[in-house]
């Protein structure tokens, strides 16, 4: 896929009582997205130390088209519907890469 990279930071807060269930659904969604979608270049999820219910996800897509395709996949829709009652706050922040490197 060609086009300008789409890079986003998702800032989420999860109901602490549902955190483990949320993490399981998130792991399933990330694995499927990276494995099945050529346009999903990377998804990295972390939690804030001492506040494990605060999750941050760095999302990198090959293009805006790849991002739009991602939003319509069965695995993403399953994640969204499955976690709807678990997410208490969601902020999506478009970011510009300064420097990103990873080992293959």
pLDDT of residue 103: 86
Query: Who contacts 65 (Cβ-Cβ below 8 Å, separation ≥6)?
Result: 1, 3, 39
pLDDT tens, residue by residue, 29-67:
999 999 999 999 999 999 999 999 999 999 999 999 999
Whole-structure pTM value:
0.93
Contact 96, 7 (CB under 8 A): yes
Report which of residues 66 and 2 the model is more confident about. 66
Find the mean pLDDT for residues 70-93.
98
CATH fold group of domain 6-86: Alpha-Beta Plaits (3.30.70)
């Amino acid at each position: 896929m060609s086009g300008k990279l789409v890079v986003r930071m998702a800032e989420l807060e999860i109901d602490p009582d549902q955190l483990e269930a949320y993490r399981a659904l998130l792991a399933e969604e990330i694995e499927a997205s990276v494995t099945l979608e050529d346009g999903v270049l990377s998804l990295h999820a972390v939690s804030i130390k001492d506040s494990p219910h605060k999750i941050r996800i760095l999302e990198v897509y090959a293009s805006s088209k790849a991002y739009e395709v991602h939003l319509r996949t069965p695995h993403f829709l399953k994640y969204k519907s499955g976690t709807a009652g678990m997410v208490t706050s969601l902020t999506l922040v478009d970011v510009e890469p300064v420097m990103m490197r990873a080992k293959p």
